[in-house]
């Protein structure tokens, strides 16, 4: 039972029990500005009272908004079958399948997930999933450093700032040189990339579609990078691969991405799923767990964790990564979702996203004062320039029932009037028309 002292004598008694001479001594290791301002806490509440209070707070959330917000996380339709299968107790209570004789079902599911990621990216090998898209990008960068023996990485500024921040944070105590290059007309600037590309470069990191929604073909960058002995890492949006050129078709060495769009709800930010796929020759430097298919002594097909000599429980500090578990339940959802769609379903889903985004673009372009940026092709997300501050417009649109997009000024200086708009298959024609009319009214008010 939690106990909060209310009198001076009770405080002294508590300090005596724990061996602290004073309350100040108890918190001496915490910087003053981070210490509690007061211990004048309210009386405890019953379970019923706490639940009612939390329900009251939850009603303050803006729920039921029609979503045109993306920026790396997307509101896609999830078939009920995904929940029905993934919520079976044998899946959501399972742990890492170290013992194959007890875990054939889980191992097969992970193996099939890996196969789906390979089919989407066109690359040879995938692992048993990572935490999220940013973690996957960091792991890819460390792979490139191990493979090349070099410590310089070029990062296109069209890569999500969230991912770049994670990358720099995770490597802050390592001697790695990062060089950021700008985007020009929404795409990676070849001229600036080639200026800093040299024989000391381990990798170039790009994103497709990039954070502004622009679609690119990095085949030329890959060719230049390989000529200098550098790798190319591409962060990709998996749904777009039903329509766009795959990383493998561009010659990319390592593909990463956020798998949230593959049957995982937005859920206020997680848990999500990071994926990574590589060329076969880079397999031994890939982090995390890999499930392989084999046969037993009776020639029956089976599944096992393979290449574990790369992992920390065997190689300790020489392991490829310190990942201790993975997002298997999220990977299972991605597998179920992908198999429900199938190859043709993926292509149709991608076309729907693209067509609805183009329809929305055309309507927004007719609003007085609104400029739809068209210097680069896009998939289902695009940038518009508003005649007013985008943050203010977003606030107004929430009151009208819309999460209308991401104000780019929050991440990029000088872009206060720019709005990033995403359109998925869930947005109906009526939704889009209502959204456009509401935005026009918000700009006029």
pLDDT of residue 89: 87
Structure-derived torsion over alpha carbons of residues 290, 160, 247, 193, reported in degrees to the nearest 10 = -120
Asked if 406 contacts 70 with a C-beta cutoff of 8 angstroms, the reply is yes
**pLDDT, tens only, 128-166:** 889 999 999 999 999 999 999 999 999 999 999 999 999
- Output the CA torsion 155→157→162→168 (10° steps): 40
Q: CA 404 from chain center: how many Å?
A: 20
Set out the domains of the chain in order of their start, with CATH numbers: 66-75+346-444 (3.90.1150.10), 80-337 (3.40.640.10)
- Residue at token pair 């078939």: 79
The predicted pLDDT at position 324 comes to 63
Give mean pLDDT in consecutive 10-residue pieces for the chain, a chain of 445 residues: 62 88 86 83 90 91 87 97 93 77 90 97 94 96 97 98 97 96 94 98 98 98 98 98 98 98 93 96 91 93 85 74 76 97 97 98 97 96 98 95 96 96 97 97 92
Rounded to 10 deg, the angle between the 133-148 and 161-170 helix axes is 50
Q: What is the pLDDT of residue 149?
A: 96
Query: For residues 416 and 162, what is the distance between their CA atoms, to the nearest angstrom?
Result: 18
Query: pLDDT at position 85, please?
Result: 95
Q: Rg of the chain's alpha carbons, rounded to an integer?
A: 25
pTM for the whole thing?
0.88
pLDDT for position 1: 36
Q: Which tokens is 177 given?
A: 């040189």
pLDDT on residue 333: 96
Residue 378 has what DSSP assignment? B
Q: Which residues contact 185 (CB under 8 A, 6 or more apart)?
A: 375, 376
Q: Which two tokens stand for residue 423?
A: 């359109």
Question: Residue 351 has which token pair?
Answer: 């076309």
């Amino acid at each position: 039972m939690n106990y909060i002292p209310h009198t001076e004598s009770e405080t002294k008694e508590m300090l005596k029990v724990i061996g602290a001479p004073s309350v100040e001594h108890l918190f001496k290791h915490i910087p003053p500005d981070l210490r509690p301002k007061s211990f004048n806490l309210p009386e405890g509440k019953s379970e019923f009272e706490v639940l009612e209070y939390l329900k009251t707070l939850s009603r303050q959330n803006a729920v039921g908004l029609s979503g045109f917000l993306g920026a790396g996380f997307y509101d896609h339709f999830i078939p009920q079958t995904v929940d029905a299968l993934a919520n079976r107790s044998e899946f959501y209570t399972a742990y890492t399948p170290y013992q194959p004789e007890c875990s054939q079902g889980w191992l097969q599911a992970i193996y099939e997930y890996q196969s789906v990621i390979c089919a989407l990216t066109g690359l040879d090998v995938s692992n048993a999933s990572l935490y999220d898209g940013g973690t996957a990008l960091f792991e890819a960068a460390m792979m490139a450093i191990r493979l090349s023996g070099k410590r310089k990485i070029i990062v296109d500024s069209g890569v999500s700032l969230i991912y770049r921040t994670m990358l720099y944070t995770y490597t802050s105590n390592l001697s790695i040189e990062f060089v950021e290059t700008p985007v020009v007309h929404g795409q990676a600037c070849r001229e600036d990339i080639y200026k800093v590309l040299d024989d000391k470069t381990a990798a170039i990191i790009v994103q497709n579609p990039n954070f502004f929604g622009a679609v690119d073909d990095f085949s030329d960058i890959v060719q230049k990078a390989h000529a200098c002995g550098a790798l190319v890492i591409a962060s990709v949006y998996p749904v777009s691969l039903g329509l766009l050129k795959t990383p493998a078709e561009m010659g990319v060495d390592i593909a990463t991405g956020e798998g949230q769009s593959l049957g995982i709800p937005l859920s206020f930010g997680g848990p999500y799923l990071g994926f990574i796929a590589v060329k076969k020759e880079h397999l031994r430097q890939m982090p995390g767990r890999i499930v392989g298919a084999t046969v037993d002594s009776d020639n029956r097909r089976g599944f096992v964790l393979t290449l574990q000599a790369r992992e920390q429980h065997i190689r300790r500090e020489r392991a490829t990564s310190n990942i201790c578990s993975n997002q298997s339940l999220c990977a299972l959802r991605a597998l179920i979702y992908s198999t429900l769609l199938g190859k043709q379903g993926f292509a149709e889903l991608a076309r729907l996203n693209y067509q609805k985004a183009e329809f929305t673009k055309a309507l927004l372009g007719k609003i007085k004062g609104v400029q739809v940026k068209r210097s680069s092709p896009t998939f289902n997300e695009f940038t518009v320039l508003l005649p007013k501050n985008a943050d203010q417009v977003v606030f107004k649109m929430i009151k009208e029932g819309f999460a209308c997009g991401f104000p780019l000024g929050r991440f990029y200086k000088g872009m206060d009037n720019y709005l990033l708009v995403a359109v998925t298959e869930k947005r109906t024609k009526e939704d889009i028309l209502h959204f456009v009319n509401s935005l026009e009214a918000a700009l006029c008010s």
